[in-house]
C-alpha cells in the first residue's frame, strides 16, 4: 500500500471511530424511517456494483415489492460505506469483510449478517507453472500491499513454498491490468477472480491455475453483507426478510445459472451478454453464492485470517463481529 493510500485509510478509520462514538452517545440509528404499517424507508450503500452484488440488488427489489422504500447509494470506497453505516446514514452494505472487522474493532455499531459471495480468488500462472516453488524470485502481480487478495497470496506462499523461496511482488493495480500483464509475460503469476479468468479465456490467453483459495482457505469469507447494529435490532423483521430474500436469490442461481444471467442483464446492462453467461455458469458451478453459508466457524476463521495478516488485533470473536440469527433462520 502506498503512503497516500495508507494515510487516507487511517484518516477514514479515525473519522469512523469519532462517528461511532457520537452515534452511540446519541442513541444511534437514523438508518431507517417508518412509513407506517411496518414499512420502512432506508438506504443501502454499495461500491461499484458488479456480478457479485446483483443478487443483493434483486433481493432489495423483493423487499420493495413488500412495500419498503430503498435507495441504493453507489460509493467510491468501502471505507465510505463503513462511515455511513456507523453514523446511521445507511442501513446495509455488502463489501469486503476486512473494513467491517476494522470498524468493529474500533467500536463501530456494525454487524455482519450474511455472506455475499464465497472465496472466488485463485492464483494463475504462466503455462508450465504448477507450484509455489517455481515462482521463486519471479514477478508476482498484486493490486496493493494492503489488499485482501495479497494477504491470501502471502499466506499461501508462507504455507506452501519451500523455506527461503518466494516470488518478487510487483504492484500493478486492477485485475484487468494484472491479467494482461500475465498474458504478455510481464509477470509470472497473479491472483484473479472468476470474471477475470473468463475474460482471459475469451481472448485466448494461455495460463494455468496454480492454487485455489476456496480450497486452501475454506473458512475465509472475503465479502459479506453487514448492517448498522441499531437497524437490525430495531427492525429484525425487515432484516430477516432481506437475508431470506438474498438466500432465495442465491438458491435460484445455483439451481439455474440463467437466473444470474437475467439478473446481470437487468442490473448491469452495459456488460457483454455472452461473456456474462459464461461467468454466471462458472459462479453457479462453483457454488459461490450462498448467503446462509456464514457460520460461527468460518466467521472465526475469517477473523483469524485477518489477525494473521496484521489487519486486526487478536481477541475478536465471531459473536463480536456477526449476528448469525438471520442466516440461521433463512436456511
pLDDT of 21 reads: 46
Residue 284, SS3?
helix
CATH fold match for the domains 3-118+220-330 and 122-216: yes
pLDDT of 25 reads: 43
Nearest to 225 by CA among 78, 105, 331: 78
Q: What is the DSSP letter of 162?
A: P
pLDDT of 22 reads: 54
Is the C-alpha dihedral spanning 83, 87, 92, 98 positive or negative?
A: positive
As a whole number of angstroms, the distance between CA 114 and CA 86 comes to: 18
pLDDT of 16 reads: 55
Query: Which set of grid coordinates corresponds to residue 328?
Result: 440461521
The CATH class, in words, for 3-118+220-330 is alpha beta
pLDDT of 284 reads: 86
Cβ 222 vs Cβ 148: under 8 Å: yes
DSSP E strand stretches across the chain: 32-36, 39-47, 69-75, 92-96, 110-117, 122-125, 139-142, 168-171, 189-192, 208-212, 223-228
Nearest to 229 by CA among 41, 82, 329, 102: 82
Residue 32, SS3?
strand
User: Going by C-beta distance under 8 Å and a sequence separation of 6 or more, which residues neighbour residue 245?
Assistant: 58, 59, 60, 62, 63
Residue 207, CA distances (Å) to 182, 189, 198, 200 in order: 8, 9, 12, 9
As a whole number of angstroms, the distance between CA 277 and CA 198 comes to: 10
Tell me the pTM: 0.89
As a whole number of angstroms, the distance between CA 64 and CA 132 comes to: 48
Residue 76, CA distances (Å) to 72, 73, 160, 330 in order: 13, 10, 35, 31
User: Domain 122-216 sits in which CATH superfamily?
Assistant: Periplasmic binding protein-like II (3.40.190.10)
pLDDT of 77 reads: 83
Q: Give the pLDDT means over successive 10-residue stretches in the chain (331 positions).
A: 44 52 48 90 92 96 97 89 93 93 94 96 94 97 90 95 96 89 93 90 84 94 96 96 97 92 91 83 89 96 96 96 97 80
Query: In angstroms, what is the C-alpha Rg of the chain?
Result: 20
How far, rounded to the nearest angstrom, does the alpha carbon of residue 294 sit from its chain's CA centroid? 13
pLDDT of 23 reads: 52
Q: What is the DSSP letter of 53?
A: T
Boundaries of every domain in the chain: 3-118+220-330, 122-216
Nearest to 45 by CA among 6, 1, 100, 7: 100
As a whole number of angstroms, the distance between CA 100 and CA 123 comes to: 25
- CB half-sphere exposure, 24, CA atoms < 13 A: 11
Cβ 111 vs Cβ 321: under 8 Å: yes
Amino acid at each position: 500500500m502506498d503512503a497516500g493510500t495508507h494515510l487516507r485509510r487511517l484518516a477514514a478509520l479515525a473519522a469512523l471511530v469519532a462517528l461511532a462514538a457520537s452515534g452511540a452517545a446519541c442513541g444511534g440509528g437514523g438508518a431507517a424511517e417508518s412509513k407506517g404499517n411496518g414499512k420502512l424507508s432506508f438506504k443501502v450503500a454499495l461500491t461499484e456494483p458488479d456480478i457479485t452484488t446483483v443478487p443483493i440488488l434483486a433481493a432489495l427489489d423483493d423487499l420493495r415489492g413488500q412495500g419498503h422504500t430503498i435507495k441504493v447509494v453507489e460509493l467510491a470506497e468501502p471505507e465510505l460505506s463503513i462511515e455511513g453505516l456507523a453514523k446511521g446514514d445507511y442501513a446495509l452494505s455488502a463489501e469486503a469483510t476486512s473494513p467491517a472487522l476494522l470498524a468493529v474493532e474500533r467500536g463501530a455499531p456494525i454487524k455482519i449478517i450474511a455472506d455475499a459471495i464465497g472465496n472466488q480468488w485463485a492464483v494463475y500462472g504462466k503455462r508450465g507453472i504448477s507450484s509455489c516453488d517455481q515462482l521463486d524470485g519471479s514477478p508476482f502481480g498484486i493490486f496493493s500491499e494492503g489488499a485482501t487478495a495479497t494477504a491470501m497470496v502471502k499466506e499461501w506462499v508462507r504455507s506452501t513454498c519451500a523455506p527461503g523461496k518466494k516470488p518478487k511482488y510487483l504492484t500493478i493495480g486492477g485485475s484487468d491490468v494484472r491479467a494482461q500483464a500475465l498474458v504478455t509475460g510481464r509477470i509470472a503469476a497473479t491472483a484473479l477472480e472468476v470474471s477475470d479468468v473468463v475474460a482471459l479465456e475469451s481472448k485466448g490467453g494461455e495460463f494455468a491455475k496454480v492454487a485455489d483459495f476456496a480450497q486452501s482457505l475454506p473458512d475465509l469469507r472475503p465479502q459479506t453483507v453487514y448492517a448498522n447494529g441499531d437497524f437490525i435490532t430495531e427492525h429484525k423483521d425487515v432484516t430477516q426478510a432481506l437475508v431470506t430474500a438474498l438466500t432465495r436469490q442465491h438458491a435460484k442461481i445455483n439451481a439455474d445459472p440463467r437466473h444470474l444471467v437475467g439478473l446481470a442483464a437487468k442490473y448491469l446492462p452495459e456488460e457483454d451478454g455472452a461473456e456474462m453467461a459464461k461467468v454466471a455458469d462458472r459462479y453457479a458451478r462453483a457454488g459461490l453464492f450462498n448467503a446462509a453459508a456464514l457460520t460461527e466457524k468460518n466467521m472465526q476463521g475469517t477473523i483469524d485470517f485477518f489477525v494473521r495478516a496484521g489487519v486486526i488485533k487478536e481477541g475478536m470473536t465471531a459473536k463480536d463481529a456477526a449476528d448469525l440469527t438471520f442466516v440461521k433462520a433463512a436456511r
